[in-house]
Structure 1
Amino acid sequence: MRKGVAIAGTVMVDEIKTVNGYPAKSELTTIEQRKRSMGGAVSNCSLSLAHIDPTLPIEIIAYFGEDERGQYLYEGFSKYNNIDLSKVQFTGETPFTDVIFDEFDKTRTFYTFKGNSTSFNEDAFPLSNIHAKILHVAYVLLLDALDQEDEQYGTKLAKLLYLAQKEGMQTSIDIVSENKDRYEKLVPPALKYTNYCIVNEYEAGKSTAITLRGQNDRLLVNNIKKALTKMKSMGVQDWVVIHAPEASFGYNGEEFYRLPSLSINKDSIKGTVGAGDAYAAGILYGAEKGYSLYESMKIATASAASSLLEEDSASGVKDIQTLKEMYDNWKKREDAFLL
């Protein structure tokens, strides 16, 4: 019987640099603090899951570099007894991201070195030896080799997801946010072989060509329903979930759900790196445990909120019981009720 979650795809080291105001081009600003953490979807999701439930089996499928950063990743994951590293391959240079965190407005800007992620392909997946119930792959548009065209399935990632489902796994994807026009070409093939699609409102809008924010940056709820419906019709077999700062929205083919985000004082937010992955981890945990979409969205909402309480991507994420209590007891964002 399959159990647990396998997380595959982007893994890197985040070099977090805190500045008090982002400089204009050619200007200088002072780095107030610097910190290193494990980043990328593989780190963010797997560590969040490990914090949610330290007994949940987690398998990692990724390339670590043959360098100091690769060793840093290996040692970091090794601290968790429920994370299986047996499928990790060491090759090339470890990807890293300079995360510039603006202490003034709590935003972050990323400068990424792709390293060995450009060669991460279907050969990294020993499908017959993966024991997980769910295979989560992220991020679409950032996995160069898997985003390559496949004559039969559309992309190599789509073929991989198809083969994973044939092996008896459920599949899940997340997408990276980028300001390019590749979404409508690369996302639909993967959706055909996806059980759970978990994306933010920007990625959903770009993937469906539906405008999800209107005047004054207001979320367009009716359009979000259209986007959920369209992504489901493009092949997602179980759940489509769209999360935004104000609220999250889900569709299982029968019911639409809207849940407000938790209200957190701005002064309590230490960082937003990995909040989307913490949200995805909550959805994956609920799906693995057989929870309803509605209950899973509650866990995901609290998971994302708790991740904001620390600078890195996952150390703020709480255990499952605490997350349930957080969603039930914490104040909700008032603007979510105005949507």
Structure 2
Amino acid sequence: MSGGIAVAGTIAVDEIKVVERYPDKTELTTISDIKRSLGGAVANCSLALSKIDATLPIETLCILGEDEKGQYIYNHLKQHKNIDVSKINFKNTTPFTDVIQDKNDKTRTFYHFKGNASLFNEHTIDFTKLNSKILHVAYLLLLDGLDQTDDQYGTKMALLLKKAQDHGVKTSIDIVSENQERYQKIVPPSLKYTNYCVINEYEAGKTAGIPLRNSKGDLLAANIKDVLKSLKSFGVKDWVIIHAPEGSFGFDGKDYYSLPSVKIHKDQIKGTVGAGDAYVAGVLYGAYLKFSIYEAMKLGTITAATSLCEEDSNSGILNFDCLMQEYQRYPKHEEIKI
């Protein structure tokens, strides 16, 4: 297999616990269901891409622990014939996330144990052995080894992405949503060596220093162009895409795009874990097929939408032809003018 998409960085086991309602501090709530699935960008994006195209060569680049959780992830990934697990390293303890999902509103809260994630650094990937056309690395702000400062490039993540581009590989990044003020320090250096920046509205606003939601949680549509332009100005080579529940918004350096989300009845939504990664996977597959940014956003939109129909991150995702049919079938929300 050669010439596909590589996914690198964060991988974990998701221990999903569905609760009757999310409690306040010191309160008790009842767990109604417990499930386990793969989590993190490497697992979520790789499996989503495999569902979209079972013939697409996918390389997984990550570090698993020498433990039961690491073996669980490895065994699951290697079941997919087009996912290459040969470059996975095994060290220390596998990261895991307790995903607490509210049964009523489907929102989820994450408690993450980083484990060996800090061991993933700028030396982990051997680019002389990489066969892919696109490398997706995630998540910034969660990979301690790559978030470190680099004297020449700003961060070790920026150095890693520069190495990839020097080897003729296009790069993609995603960010974790966290309630800290590190975005403007850690993210911009990487954008200079990024081809595809595909992030949500919270991460985009934090990185640009321009809010995209007000205190009531309403989307500030008037600020979207400024955020897109700001992110592109950091050096993103090809596409900047922001996805939100209301829709997604793109900028290719020339034109701005607004695409509404599809309408899904709340009874169809079984979980939202990994929906952002599903969106990214759809966009990356569009980039791989040399789609326009707008067509890639459509694929990202419907990939994310179908992922909501199951509790884990990828079981609901369909193959490419079916996804395109579903996109045409689903009604759409009103387009947001930007």
Counterpart of 2:130 in structure 1 is 130
Tell me if structure 1 keeps the 8 A contact 2:67–2:94: yes
How far did 1:2 drift?
A: 6.1
Deviation larger for 218-227 or 14-23: 218-227
Counterpart of 1:308 in structure 2 is 308
How far did 1:111 drift?
A: 0.7
C-alpha separation between the residues in 1 aligned to 2:221 and 2:255? 15
C-alpha separation between the residues in 2 aligned to 1:2 and 1:239? 24
Q: Which amino acid in the other structure matches residue 73 of structure 1?
A: I
Tell me if structure 2 keeps the 8 A contact 1:63–1:117: yes
C-alpha separation between the residues in 1 aligned to 2:22 and 2:85? 38
Calculate percent identity across the aligned residue pairs.
Answer: 59
Matches within 5 A, 1:181-260: 181-214=181-214, 216-260=216-260
How far did 1:120 drift?
A: 1.1
Counterpart of 2:51 in structure 1 is 51
C-alpha separation between the residues in 2 aligned to 1:325 and 1:232? 32
Structure 1 residues 128-156: Cα deviation after superposition (integer angstroms, max 9, x where no partner): 11010000000000000000000000000
What TM-score results when the alignment is normalised by the length of structure 2?
Answer: 0.98
C-alpha separation between the residues in 1 aligned to 2:219 and 2:17? 31
Counterpart of 2:65 in structure 1 is 65
Structure 1 residues 3-53: Cα deviation after superposition (integer angstroms, max 9, x where no partner): 111000000000000111111211111110100000001111110000000
Q: Which amino acid in the other structure matches residue 87 of structure 1?
A: K
C-alpha separation between the residues in 1 aligned to 2:25 and 2:316? 33
What TM-score results when the alignment is normalised by the length of structure 1?
Answer: 0.97
How far did 1:108 drift?
A: 0.5
Structure 1 residues 48-71: Cα deviation after superposition (integer angstroms, max 9, x where no partner): 000000010000000011000000
Matches within 5 A, 1:267-286: 267-286=267-286
Q: Which amino acid in the other structure matches residue 212 of structure 1?
A: L
How far did 1:268 drift?
A: 1.1
Q: Which amino acid in the other structure matches residue 288 of structure 1?
A: Y
Q: Which amino acid in the other structure matches residue 278 of structure 1?
A: A
C-alpha separation between the residues in 1 aligned to 2:2 and 2:72? 30
Tell me if structure 1 keeps the 8 A contact 2:134–2:171: yes
Q: Which amino acid in the other structure matches residue 136 of structure 2?
A: H
Q: Which amino acid in the other structure matches residue 328 of structure 1?
A: Q
C-alpha separation between the residues in 2 aligned to 1:94 and 1:70? 6
C-alpha separation between the residues in 1 aligned to 2:74 and 2:201? 33
Counterpart of 1:165 in structure 2 is 165
Q: Which amino acid in the other structure matches residue 86 of structure 2?
A: S
Counterpart of 2:90 in structure 1 is 90
How far did 1:271 drift?
A: 0.4
How far did 1:217 drift?
A: 2.4
Q: Which amino acid in the other structure matches residue 234 of structure 1?
A: F
C-alpha separation between the residues in 2 aligned to 1:2 and 1:30? 48
Tell me if structure 1 keeps the 8 A contact 2:58–2:82: yes
Tell me if structure 2 keeps the 8 A contact 1:3–1:288: no
- Runs of 5+ consecutive residues of structure 2 not aligned to the other structure: none
C-alpha separation between the residues in 1 aligned to 2:100 and 2:214? 28
Q: Which amino acid in the other structure matches residue 198 of structure 1?
A: V
How far did 1:337 drift?
A: 4.7
Tell me if structure 1 keeps the 8 A contact 2:258–2:336: no
